[in-house]
Amino acid sequence: MHFRHFFLFLLISSNLFAQDNNKNYHLGASAHYGFIARHRDSMNDLIEDPIKAINITLGRQMFGQQAWEQTFLYPAYGMGFYAADLGNQDNLGYGYALYGFMTLPLWESEKIKWHYQFELGLVYVTEGNIAVGSHTNVFIGATLGMQYALTERLWLVNELSGNHFSNGATKMPNLGLNPLTYRLGINYRLNREANERVVHETATDYATDDFAVVYNAGIKEIKPAGGDKYFISSIMLDYTHALTAKHRIGFGLDWIYDSSFFTRFEREGVLDLSQAAIMQYALHLSYRFDVHRFSVIAQQGFHLYSKWTDDGSSFQRAGLRYRISKRTLLNLTIMSKGGVAYFTEWGVGLRF
């Protein structure tokens, strides 16, 4: 990726946004300093120096055109570019990411704003290693921060950030990288005047309980690295109960088909397995955080039946859903076992 192309895009976009009828666009820049968390003993020799990074964002502040924006205290969304020295140039190299983000306010006064932020995109890691075997990986981020008004248009930004790089088990090895950093930067509103916030009489975008059927599919690689790719899929039945307009809890059932089990059982001397014999059946408990059409989901699952037991009896699932219409949705989640990605689920679903 050529940096000049990215900065040219920012320059052109900034000029266009400045002429837009919406006056709530902002440009941000920050520097990061921190470390990569050692979540496996095998990573001790991989991590040497602190991580240093820069971050550039282009965002839009919502002002209440729809009622749900008021419910979430007028969020912001946009895109960002992230470039990091990962602290070991020979074995980790550098990471370059393009991602989308959504910033959700927690509390604000005239001078101070507290917020949290979700980030999702792709990151290119220049050196393959025992943590990420592929150059292109999923980029996930979560941030807690505070902004302080220096002027009407310029804000000082302080944030604590956690990121995760993973290829979702599409290529081994796949332990993942977890940078934890402190960010210091600025946020500048591109327009001289901001849109006034719209206040709705009824701001709650409340939803009732729902039930969804989701079909997911993906590919995975098993050890040793560089081997064959295997098809894996799942069917998820998911019921959720709305606690508030934002928060849901629920439970559901899973049917999981993993074609790599044929190879793994063959290595153990078990042959002539049927398709039905490698099916896994599971129960999951779930939490869901809804932001209009988007949902962040987290689940803890337990296998009710699995002929293969070496991976443990439980799993975790986290990711995003997007509601296309009243009845249809898209699903992107990562199922993990023992803190390591098991496979990336790309799916579609129906809501009832």
The average pLDDT across 117-137 equals 88
- Tens-digit pLDDT profile for residues 97-115: 999 999 999 999 989 999 9
pLDDT grade, residue 1 (50/70/90)? very low
| Both structure tokens of 266 | 């063959």
Q: How far does CA 280 lie from the centroid of its chain? A: 26
CATH of domain 210-351: 2.40.160
The mean-pLDDT minimum among 7-11, 19-23, 222-226 falls in 7-11
**338 — alpha (psi -120 to 50), left (phi > 0) or beta?**
left
Is residue 217 packed enough to be buried (19+ CB in 10 Å), middle (13-18) or exposed (0-12)?
A: middle
pLDDT of 20 > 70? The answer is no
Is 173 in contact with 133 (CB distance < 8 Å)? yes
The average pLDDT across 12-37 equals 74
The average pLDDT across 262-290 equals 90
pLDDT grade, residue 183 (50/70/90)? very high
With a CB cutoff of 8 Å and minimum separation 6, the contacts of 348 are: 214, 215, 328, 329, 330, 331
Is 320 in contact with 296 (CB distance < 8 Å)? yes
Q: What is the pLDDT of residue 101?
A: 96
pLDDT of 42 > 80? The answer is no
pLDDT grade, residue 205 (50/70/90)? low
Q: What is the pLDDT of residue 16?
A: 46
- Give the CA distances from residue 332 to residues 168, 213, 217, 218, 222, in Å, rounded to whole numbers and listed in that order: 11, 14, 10, 10, 21
Q: How far apart are CA 297 and CA 214, in angstroms?
A: 13
The average pLDDT across 131-158 equals 93
pLDDT of 65 > 50? The answer is yes
- Angle, alpha carbons 346-312-44 (nearest 5°): 85
Is 101 in contact with 77 (CB distance < 8 Å)? yes
Is 302 in contact with 256 (CB distance < 8 Å)? no
The average pLDDT across 296-319 equals 93
pLDDT grade, residue 92 (50/70/90)? confident
pLDDT of 304 > 60? The answer is yes
The two counts, helices (H) then strands (E), for the chain are: 3, 16
- Candidates 134, 135, 122, 128; CA nearest to 170 is 134
Is 251 in contact with 221 (CB distance < 8 Å)? no
**Residue scoring higher pLDDT (323 or 132):** 323
Sorted by where each begins, the domain ranges of the chain are 3-189, 210-351
Longest dimension (CA), the chain: 72
pLDDT of 216 > 80? The answer is yes
Q: How far apart are CA 205 and CA 63, in angstroms?
A: 16
pLDDT grade, residue 278 (50/70/90)? confident
pLDDT of 18 > 70? The answer is no
Q: What is the pLDDT of residue 68?
A: 87
pLDDT of 19 > 70? The answer is no
The average pLDDT across 33-56 equals 87
Rounded to two decimals, what is the model's pTM? Answer: 0.83
- Give the CA distances from residue 93 to residues 36, 48, 76, 174, 203, in Å, rounded to whole numbers and listed in that order: 13, 12, 32, 16, 47
SS3 percent helix, strand, coil of the chain, rounded to 5, is: 10, 55, 35
Count other C-beta atoms under 10 Å from residue 124's C-beta.
Answer: 17
Percent of the chain with pLDDT over 90: 61
**Residue scoring higher pLDDT (47 or 204):** 47
Q: What is the pLDDT of residue 5?
A: 47
Q: What is the pLDDT of residue 74?
A: 92
Computed over every residue of the chain, the mean pLDDT equals: 88
Asked, colleague to colleague, whether 3-189 and 210-351 share their fold, the answer is yes
**Residue scoring higher pLDDT (21 or 106):** 106
The three-state secondary structure class of 212 is strand
Task: Name the residue with tokens 């020295």.
Answer: 85
- Tens-digit pLDDT profile for residues 223-244: 887 788 999 999 999 999 999 8
Q: Which CATH number fits domain 3-189: 3.40.50.300, 2.40.160.20, 3.30.470.20, 3.40.50.720?
A: 2.40.160.20
